[in-house]
Structure 1
Amino acid sequence: MTRTRVVRGFAPLEACPVVFSEYAAALGQYKLVFDDLLAWETWAYDMVKKPVVGVIVTLPCTAKLPRNKGDIHKTKIRIAKRVVRLPGSRQQIMDIESQNVHNQCGTYALLHLLNNICENRHIENDSILSYIREKTFHASPGERGTLIENTHEIQELHAKFEQKGQSVITNEQEEIASHYVTFVVVDGDLYELDGALDFPVNHGRAAPDELLQNQTIYVLPP
């Protein structure tokens, strides 16, 4: 693969299951299917195909959403009752990337999901995803983010998939309007993975088969 630094503006990904499913396959994870969760009630959960291995949540960017890592850190410590920072050994197990590129939170959320679920046996050999995992196994979140930023194939894929979906993106609409955050269960704990943070947020114990049930997740400040 050719890997050169790409500097350009990006548009956000549309929150569309087809877009994320095709993007995951293009990265090398071809066994996942994304689905919309229409509401938080039980009837909506029952409509989603099982098993659920992870959740990507779309948050509106309002004045209440912190804009920098320091503010986000303070906000999460204040509002999430069971926030803990992982010890160094666990940070090597979980894959956490720091987002360095404007409007690429969808790509980082997708990578956070793909790199932290148990379905890794379905990753294609010699794929972009396998390359990223190999090169960043012992890397820090910042180093992972830099590698993603400098990997030409990922930048080109984002540019391709930002054009897909039902929305038409213009230059005036490239200003960020929403933010993607990933939730996965690792070793029996529910973790929030956000490209705006350098660490995972632990939301307490959770069973993988109950990922969308009986979970109260605090993300935005009141």
Structure 2
Amino acid sequence: MSSSTESVESRPRKHFIPLESNPELFTELMCTLGVSDSLCFQDVLSLNDPELLAFLPRPVHALVLVFPDQGSYRNSVTEENKTVAEYEASGDKEDVVFFKQTIHNACGLYGILHATCNGVARSHIEPDSTLARLLAECTPLPSEARARALENNSAVESAYAAIASRGDTAAPAAEDEVDFHYICFIRSSKSGRLYLLDGDRKRPFDFGKVGGDDVLSGECLSSIKGFIEGMKGESIGFSLMALVPAWD
């Protein structure tokens, strides 16, 4: 849930209350920021049981994975960040909209932003909403400037604070270190490539070009299942939320 802290300069200047892994809260925050109520988040109960998968409305536009923030994934991200260049794509040159995380404990917010600002879901953002204005400001900016623009956006912060405080369990303090982290899987509507978006990484992780527009089917599902299975040897505690069309 915390952003990377490799140096004094990269330590977060702002701290948020962690957002509970709750589809209703994720949906409420998403809609408050400006996504239409034609979309919602729902729990994914299985990646292997066809009957349980059939309960989800289709297509699935994005997946948000929450998992223990420790072990091989954390180590691999730390090592990767030592060798890869900072993400500097922006505007029309950007295949996906990516936000570097500079707000401590706000990875739930970054998961929502990555899920809704990319792919088909982006077309469900209401004009002149908080999220539409954020995108207009941030899209032309390089990574660091974009991160600071989000960090300083008072409308996003107010919406987040109002909803994050209403979970089913008592929220930790904003400065606390917590044990879980959110990441997002989306398919680019520009290139058809599947990406893992995690603000603790320096850049999007590219799984390559995949067919179809549903991230819980075909090649997308195979890639995501393989990624999760590679991490699960260390701990249980994984859960998934899907961004899907809302049923009436």
In structure 2, the CA distance between the partners of 1:15 and 1:173, relative to structure 1 (3 Å rule), is farther
Q: Following TM superposition, by how much is the alpha carbon of 1:119 offset from its aligned partner in structure 2, in angstroms?
A: 3.4
Which residue, out of 14, 21, 25, partners 2:27?
A: 21
SS in structure 2 opposite 1:21?
A: helix
Contact kept? 2:65, 2:183, Cα under 8 Å: yes
* Worse-matched range after superposition: 180-189 or 203-212: 203-212
Question: Does the alignment pair 1:62 with 2:66?
Answer: no
Q: Following TM superposition, by how much is the alpha carbon of 1:191 offset from its aligned partner in structure 2, in angstroms?
A: 0.6
Contact kept? 1:181, 1:194, Cα under 8 Å: yes
Q: Which runs of 5 or more structure 1 residues have no equivalent in the other structure? A: 1-6, 78-84
Q: Which runs of 5 or more structure 2 residues have no equivalent in the other structure? A: 1-12, 234-248
SS in structure 2 opposite 1:216?
A: helix
> Could you tell me which residue of structure 2 aligns to residue 164 of structure 1?
166
Question: Does the alignment pair 1:211 with 2:215?
Answer: yes
> Could you tell me which residue of structure 2 aligns to residue 12 of structure 1?
18
RMSD: 3.0
Q: Following TM superposition, by how much is the alpha carbon of 1:68 offset from its aligned partner in structure 2, in angstroms?
A: 9.1
SS in structure 2 opposite 1:58?
A: strand
- Name the CA distance, whole Å, in 2 between partners of 1:95 and 1:86: 11
Contact kept? 2:66, 2:183, Cα under 8 Å: yes
**TM-score, with length taken from structure 1:** 0.81
Contact kept? 2:97, 2:117, Cα under 8 Å: yes
Which residue, out of 115, 135, 138, partners 2:137?
A: 135
Percent of aligned pairs sharing the same letter: 26
In structure 2, the CA distance between the partners of 1:47 and 1:95, relative to structure 1 (3 Å rule), is same
Which residue, out of 104, 108, 111, partners 2:110?
A: 108
Contact kept? 2:104, 2:174, Cα under 8 Å: no
Residue type of the alignment partner of 1:24: M
Contact kept? 2:18, 2:174, Cα under 8 Å: no
Larger % of strand: which? 2
- Name the CA distance, whole Å, in 1 between partners of 2:26 and 2:101: 18
> Could you tell me which residue of structure 1 aligns to residue 56 of structure 2?
48
> Could you tell me which residue of structure 2 aligns to residue 193 of structure 1?
197
Aligned residues: 209
**TM-score, with length taken from structure 2:** 0.73
In structure 2, the CA distance between the partners of 1:158 and 1:88, relative to structure 1 (3 Å rule), is closer
- Name the CA distance, whole Å, in 2 between partners of 1:12 and 1:195: 15
The aligned runs of 1:28-43 (5 Å cut-off) are 28-30=34-36, 31-41=38-48, 42-43=50-51
Residue type of the alignment partner of 1:201: F
- Name the CA distance, whole Å, in 1 between partners of 2:137 and 2:176: 31
Residue type of the alignment partner of 1:25: C
Q: Following TM superposition, by how much is the alpha carbon of 1:100 offset from its aligned partner in structure 2, in angstroms?
A: 0.3
Which residue, out of 123, 146, 155, partners 1:144?
A: 146
The aligned runs of 1:81-100 (5 Å cut-off) are 88=89, 92-100=94-102
Q: Following TM superposition, by how much is the alpha carbon of 1:73 offset from its aligned partner in structure 2, in angstroms?
A: 3.8
Contact kept? 1:68, 1:196, Cα under 8 Å: no
- Name the CA distance, whole Å, in 2 between partners of 1:56 and 1:104: 14
